[in-house]
Structure formats: structure tokens, C-alpha cells
Structure 1
């Protein structure tokens, strides 16, 4: 793929574009642009790292309101097994991942990552997954969806504030770099996994980054300059997210793991920004009362650490649908809370994969059924509201979906379906 034109882009946008391109040439260009970057190194003691792969929050930075600040650069590397799982393959995968952990600090400025497995991966085993794991095949969740499904074996999610790090880590795993942040690459994933190149996905989170893409036909000039997400508002409020404890599988051999779903979406931003005014966008994103009481601010900065969906505002969803003919996206989704607690931990990010604006909606939950319940609540078919006023339904279009099991760190390398039994593939 051709490298982006450096002369036409800011440094920040150029680095983002290099991550999207990927490969050794993009890495070389990124290193040249980032000579002054000092990346903190990791640890030689794997036991010092969290037992949960998805334990990122304590290692990530937080803003002034206590909200976790997600890494700026993200890569989803789709993986397909070359041969059936074996003990040699498991050892190779674990060794490769431990090299990443030695090379980079577990942090925004270093690298955080997870390796998750699809239902297709586990289908090769004789035994089924334990009853404590809910990992169904992905499926359409509304009559308006017709997504393709992730049918490869695994996905590696790499995330860092440093564009160089995500590119370098991917390159090292697949034989395109001999050294990672001063650590020799003694082994990688080559020979166990091959990358599914046409399924590689990338993205970014950060104030001002969406507004740097107005050269794309689908990104209007009216997107707020400081917005961290394409739809113009902050997300990931600390008290409106599930905790990592809440999304962790509690029991069984995969206790300490979690499930992950990824829904890739196209966004219709021109209508969102050019047909609707700010009051209407607040109404549809949050709730009518958020707009009436001016609770949000320009990009959500007034909300501090919560989306302000109180029990009363959630309970008014049906009344708002009946009396006002409009309901908010967050308001609807909050109806799926359990004992007042959100069931999902979102780690989604913007994308311009395909040269158009989109979102890779990545969520963690104890079981996939929790995501399905939230999605049904967000869809709001029970509310009888016209599609154009039913939250943000008419502005988002799901194109791809995948369900994954993210095992605990101890089982992240080619896990069997039943780690406590005799389950194995043909080769062990």
C-alpha cells in the first residue's frame, strides 16, 4: 500500500495514517518521524503482570475527572491458524507474547494487548466450551443488519499512545523486525498463525483527531474541533462503564477471562451534523432532558465522569417516546443495566478504514448475552418511535461482527476448549 503524503498532513495525522497502512515500510517511516520518542520498557517477570488479559484500567492514564484515557492508536490483527493447536505452538505463542511484555511497559506509553479466540477456533475440539462460557456464533441483531462475520481463528488487539509501538509490535510478531524497543525478537507468531490481511482493522481515539479527517467525503467540516469521537461527543465515562471485575468470567477453567464482541460500523456523519442541530444531537445521543437542561456541553465535557443517566431519566424513556416522539441512544441502552450497573465495558475507537468514517465498537462483558441485551435495548423496537428519532439508529450501519473469548493470561496461548479435561485437537 502507498504511504500517505507527509506534506499534506499534520504529524499526528501522518502517524495515524501510517498505522492504517501497516507493514515494514510504514514502520520505517514512523520510526523516522518518531526519533525523539522514549518508550518505557516492560518486565522480565511475567508474574508481575495482571492475571487478566483485559486488566488495562489500572495501567492506563486518567483525565481530571477520573475517566480512563484509552490509548490513541489501535490495531486489530486477524489471525488464522496454520496447523492444529499443539504444545509446540502454544509454547511459541506464549514466548512471542512475553517478548512484547519485556519490550514495552504495560501502559498507554508502552503497549497493552489482548489475544481473543472466535467460536470457529473452538469448533475444532471434540469437547465443548464449559457452561460458564457464553460464546455463540455472531448473528444479525436487527432486521436492518446484514453484517459479515469474523470466521477466522483469533484477533490480536494492540493499543498504545505511540504509533511506532503498535506497528513495531505487529512487525516483530511476524518476522519484519529483529528488535522491539531494545529487546531481541527470538520468536514470533510466524509458523503458528498467518495474518488475514484483508481483515486487519485500525483506528484511533483522541481529542481533535476526528476533525483532522475532513478531507474525506464522509467527514463534514462542522465536526467539533476537540471531539474525540466522530459523532462529536465524549464517551467512556467512568461511572457509566462496567468495571473490569463486572465483565470478568467468575467460575470455571476460563475464570479470570472475559468475552469480547467487535461490531464494525459505517457512520452517516453528514446528515448527523448538517441536518440536525446541537440540541437535536444531544437529544438523540443522550436524552431529551439532557438537551432541555443543557447537561452536556459542546462535546460532553460538562458530564465529567458520568453520562448523567439517572434512574428517573432511564424510566422516562417510554414517556419520552410517547409524548415527545424522540428518545436518546444512551437513554435506551441504559435500560439494560443490571441492579443499576452497566454490563458492558466499552473500548471502541474511530476508524477511517476504507477511507470513510466508521467505528469499531469493541465491548467486553461477562457473556455475549449481556451485549445482546444491551443491543436490543438500544435498538428500541418496543418504543414505537420513527427511525429518524430513535436515538442514533439511522446514522450507524453495522458491516461486520465477531464474538471472542479472551482467556486469562495463563490460557491465552492456543487454549483447549476444556482446559481441565482431556480435550485436544488431533495433535497435542
Structure 2
């Protein structure tokens, strides 16, 4: 649908989200019918789950039975500075977060958000993180990558089907607007404690990649399928290919109810993917040769419903030797637990810096679970023992490049505002001081 200015509204909203700022928000709100988003509860603290990452129950389900993921995203990397947080700073951060939660209901049509903290943030405390939290500094996980460390102190992740919502929430969190969705905002902002290092944006959903393919990394002739939810042209987050939120939740210790978050910034090079590889080759590399040889995948793969049918694929080594190629999904089968993966994907595409990319965001109980999954994706044993190369015909490795990687802790909601490294130790110290 085009507005009175002759520009497709969806494309305009996506562009506005990428630009950001109060002016972009105002322009977006003035270019079409006002969106109707129900307000959140007056007391989000008692109404919302303790798990920040508990999004699934608030997501609608697609016709195929998969969770519908919010279409528009903003990531705000935050720097705290020196020293340790004060009670006043914690109160300001919590007030700012609560303000936007009062404005929008917790849903894909409203607003979903998390706040996470890096190991660099926790280094400022005398106490160490508890043993129940696995949060190492990020590192290269293959011989062919050399990512920079993603080292802000914290990251806020905003998600909504409406670009106006993520932009409005961002401006409110920065203290730039006094009212959001008819709800007065507190005299508090994230910037009372943090500086905002940058902003990263992205999208996921049918049609959005095709509408935003005029960027580096994608061939000029517009090859991305019009209904694809991601740049590589296929469905990705099948319900049968995701663990439960319980599986990725920390089970014990002061951060029980939280999770760890891994965030990799990937750039895409899709020239060969679309210009040289045939569709059959793309299916083989994304799924497995069996799916390509038997026409299992129709279109973007919606016909598979909730299950990409990886059990039908041969052992990766067998495929590498017989077909000369092994699929990305095929390599993931061996890192399943109770017939489900061990990382929960909430990744999305991006045009940051004018290049096709992916913000690969995953949740897992331990960062070690992501490391295990990434090592399976690397397929180094396959490379050593078959004609498949280190990256060539080895899943989708040759089309992606990891430029930045970070590890973060998503604390439970009650500890989301500038938590100490060990809340139990902090409480003991307060009692002793009293």
C-alpha cells in the first residue's frame, strides 16, 4: 500500500527505523493511519514474567504453526563508564524501562524487549559471576574467522511488528519524549546511567528482505524471492527447529530465570548464491542434498510446516562423500538434545552500513551451547575427511562472514537494571554493613 506521497508505507517505515530519531518517528507517524496498540499494564513488574526472554507466549502463530517473530528490531549498545552503579542509576534505568512497558502491551504487535550485560560490564565488580553463569569473553570459533569483540556494557533489544513502536520506545528510553501511546513517561532515561554507543537495526518477515535488497552483498537484478522472510530466501525458525524457553533458561543461582545471549554481526555475500548456484544447489546447501534431489522444499519452505525434516537427510559425512556437498541444517542434527536444538534463535536481517547482513542473536543456557552449535556448523571434520572444502559446499559458510561477536547475560527481570556480578554476595555485604 502506498501513501499520499507515492511511497510504499512498509518500505518507508523500515527506512525510518533504520534512520531513527525523533524526526524519523514524527515523519513516520504523519504518513499514514495511526496504529492502534493497546497499552501495557499499570504495574508491569507484577504482570510480566520474571524471565525477560519469555516471548513465546506473547507471539502469534503462523498458519504453518511456527511462532511469528516481530518484524522490526532495534539494538542499542550501551556503555556505562567507570565505577560501579549507584542505587539512583538503577532506579532511573528501571523507571525508563517500566515507562515503555506501560505504554505498549507485551506482544509482537506491541513491544517486546530485553536488557543484557556483557562480561566487560561485570569486570568492574570485586565479586565474580556465580558458577551457575557461563559468560566468557567472545572469541573466534573457527580457523577462517577473526571477529572483533562486541564489547559494550549492555544491549537493549527492542522488537515489534510496528516500526513506530520500536522508534517510539527508543526515543522514550533516551528521555526524548514525555508521552508514549498516550502514557506519560517518567523523568528518567537510560542515559541517566549509560551512553548510547550506536544503534543497530533490522527486520524479519515475508517480503521485507526483497523490499530492502538494493544494498551491497546482493546482486543488482533483485533476486531475493518476494515472499522470503530472510535474505537467503528460505524459512528458518521452524518450531521443530527451536528448543523451549525452559531449555535455554538458567536453572539455579542468583540469576536463575535468566539466560545467556550470543550476538554475532554477519555480513552476507549473495552474488554466487543467487547468480551462480541453482535453486537445487541452494536447497542442498541450506537443508541437505536429499531435500534437493527429491524436491522436498517448495518455494521458501513453508510447505514443511513446523518441521524441516532433517531426519530424512543422510549422515553429513555420507552426503559429503556421495554428493560433494553437505547442508547447513543437516550438520545441526548431531547437536540436538531430546530431539531439539540447544540454542534458541531470534536472529534477523539488516542493512546497517548499507550492506546485507544478519544480526545472529541466539539464547542458550550456557555460551558453551552456542560454541558447540557453531563448531558443528563449521564442519571441520567433514572438511578433513571428504572432498568438501573448508567453506566451499560446506553448508552456507562461504556466504557469511562474522565481523563481530559478543556474549551477554540476560538477567531475570528483577535484576535487569544494572545488576551486581553476584547478587547473593551483594546482599550479604549489605546485611553485614547494616
- Matched position secondary structure for 1:420: helix
Match of 1:3 in 2: none
Structure-2 separation of matches of 1:33 and 1:379: 46
User: How far did residue 326 of structure 1 move?
Assistant: 0.6
* Whole-angstrom distance in 1 between the partners of 2:405 and 2:216: 25
1:317-332 to 2 correspondences below 5 Å: 317-332=316-331
Please tell me whether the aligned partners of residues 93 and 192 of structure 2 are also in contact (alpha carbons under 8 angstroms).
Answer: no
Counterpart residue number, 1:403: 407
Compute the RMSD of aligned alpha carbons. Answer: 1.7
Q: What is the CA–CA distance in structure 2 between the aligned matches of 1:9 and 1:139, rounded to whole Å? A: 43
The residue that corresponds to 2:223 in the other structure is 222
User: Could you tell me which residue of structure 1 aligns to residue 368 of structure 2?
Assistant: 369
d(CA) in 2 for partners of 1:353, 1:53: 26
Aligned to 2:62: 63
Q: 2:211 maps to which residue?
A: 212
Contact 1:213 1:219 in 2 (8 A): no
Give how far 1:340 is off: 2.4
Give the match's secondary structure for 1:422: helix
> CA–CA distance in 1 between the matches of 2:315 and 2:282?
18
Alpha-carbon offset, residue 338 of structure 1? 2.2
Closer, same or farther: CA 388–115 of 1 in aligned 2, 3 Å: same
Residue 8 of structure 1, CA deviation: 7.7
* Matched residue SS, 2:14: helix
d(CA) in 2 for partners of 1:415 and 1:193? 14
Aligned residue runs from structure 1 range 351-366, under 5 A: 351-366=350-365
**Alpha-carbon distance, 1:235 to partner:** 1.1
Q: Give yes or no for the alignment of 1:39 onto 2:37.
A: yes
Residues 214/416 of structure 1: CA separation in 2 closer, same or farther (3 Å cut): closer
Deviations 1:279-320, CA, capped at 9 Å, x for gaps: 10000001111112211111111111011111x63x611111
Distance 1:281 1:268 in 2: 14
Q: Does 1:273 align with 2:291?
A: no
Tell me if structure 1 keeps the 8 A contact 2:213–2:356: no
Q: Which residue of 2 aligns with 1:394?
A: 398
Over 3 Å counting, the alpha-carbon distance change for 1:67 and 1:174 in structure 2 is same
Q: Does 1:100 align with 2:104?
A: no
Shift of 1:120: 0.3
Q: Give, in whole Å, the separation in 2 of the partners of 1:377 and 1:39.
A: 42
CA drift at 1:65: 2.2
Deviation at 1:206, TM superposition (A): 1.1
1:240 alignment partner in structure 2: 241
Q: How does 1:21-420 map to 2 (within 5 A)?
A: 21-45=19-43, 46-82=45-81, 84-186=84-186, 187-197=188-198, 200-220=199-219, 221-310=222-311, 313=313, 316-384=315-383, 385-386=388-389, 387-420=391-424
Does 40-49 or 224-233 show the bigger shift? Answer: 40-49
Contact preservation (8 Å) 1:285, 1:329: yes
Q: Please give the alpha-carbon distance, in whole angstroms, between the structure 1 residues aligned to 2:216 and 2:126.
A: 49
Q: Is the CA contact (8 Å cut-off) linking 1:52 and 1:257 kept in structure 2?
A: yes
SS of the residue corresponding to residue 192 of structure 2 reads: coil
Change (3 A) 1:399 1:8: farther
In the TM superposition, residue 157 of structure 1 has moved relative to its aligned partner by 0.1
CA distance in 1, matches of 2:263, 2:203: 15
Note the C-alpha offset of 1:9: 4.5
Equivalent residue pairs, number: 417
| Equivalent residues of 2:64, 2:302 under 8 A apart | no
CA distance in 1, matches of 2:302, 2:374: 26
Alpha-carbon offset, residue 34 of structure 1: 4.2
**Does structure 2 conserve the Cα–Cα contact (< 8 Å) formed by 1:247 and 1:364?**
yes
Provide Cα deviations, 1:147-172, integer angstroms capped at 9, x if missing partner: 11111100000000111111111111
For residues 280 and 369 of structure 1, do their structure 2 counterparts lie closer, same or farther at Cα, with a shift above 3 Å needed? same
**Counterpart in the other structure of 1:17:** 15
- What is the distance in 2 between the residues matched to 1:124 and 1:227? 44
Structure 1: unaligned runs, 5 residues or longer: 1-5
Q: Distance in 2 between matches of 1:194 and 1:26?
A: 21
TM-score by length of 2: 0.93
Measured in 1, the distance between the counterparts of 2:12 and 2:281 equals: 34
